[in-house]
Amino acid sequence: MLEVLRLMQQGYPSRTDFTSLYNMYKNFLPPIIANLDVRTFCEALIFALGSTDNDFQFGLTKVFFRAGKYALLDEITKNDEKTTQELIAKVSHWLVCKRWKKFIFAAIAVQRLGQRIQYFLFNFSINFFLNLF
């Protein structure tokens, strides 16, 4: 209860459950998106609408919106079929971009790790060779 009051004091008075947002769209979702975690789906939905990290905050079971961002919540909760299909397309695009960024980061991390291993092995072999004589 104290956490909710702290969030409201920081300017997040509007809130909704993850499951209620997910249940509104689950009938329209393709199987790939329907298998997502409820929280991940809500994150993708909110970012797909063009929000920034300052517009909302995630709790354990709810998403909290800033005071002026309730219009975003209204846009999300519309049940118009055309709007729903557009939102699903945006969510798919956002998920692909997020996964692509993860793959790029992983590739860079593997390259750096390989360089560090080579550097370590090179220094180890030089030190080993120098200690022989």
Q: pLDDT tens, 55-106?
A: 778 888 888 777 766 666 666 666 677 777 787 888 888 888 888 999 999 9
Amino acid at 31: P
If we measure between CA atoms, which residue out of 19, 15, 13, 23 comes closest to residue 79? 23
* Tokens describing residue 71: 């219009």
Q: With left for phi above 0 and alpha for psi between -120 and 50, is residue 63 left, alpha or beta?
A: beta
Query: Which residues lie closer than 8 Å to 81 by C-beta, 6 or more apart?
Result: 28
Provide the CATH number for the domain around residue 77. Answer: 1.20.5.4820
Partners of 17 in the beta sheet? 62
Q: How many domains, the chain? A: 1
What is the distance between the alpha carbons of residues 123 and 133, in angstroms, rounded to a whole number? 16
> Model-level pTM greater than 0.85?
no
Domain containing residue 64: 2-132
pLDDT at 47: 80
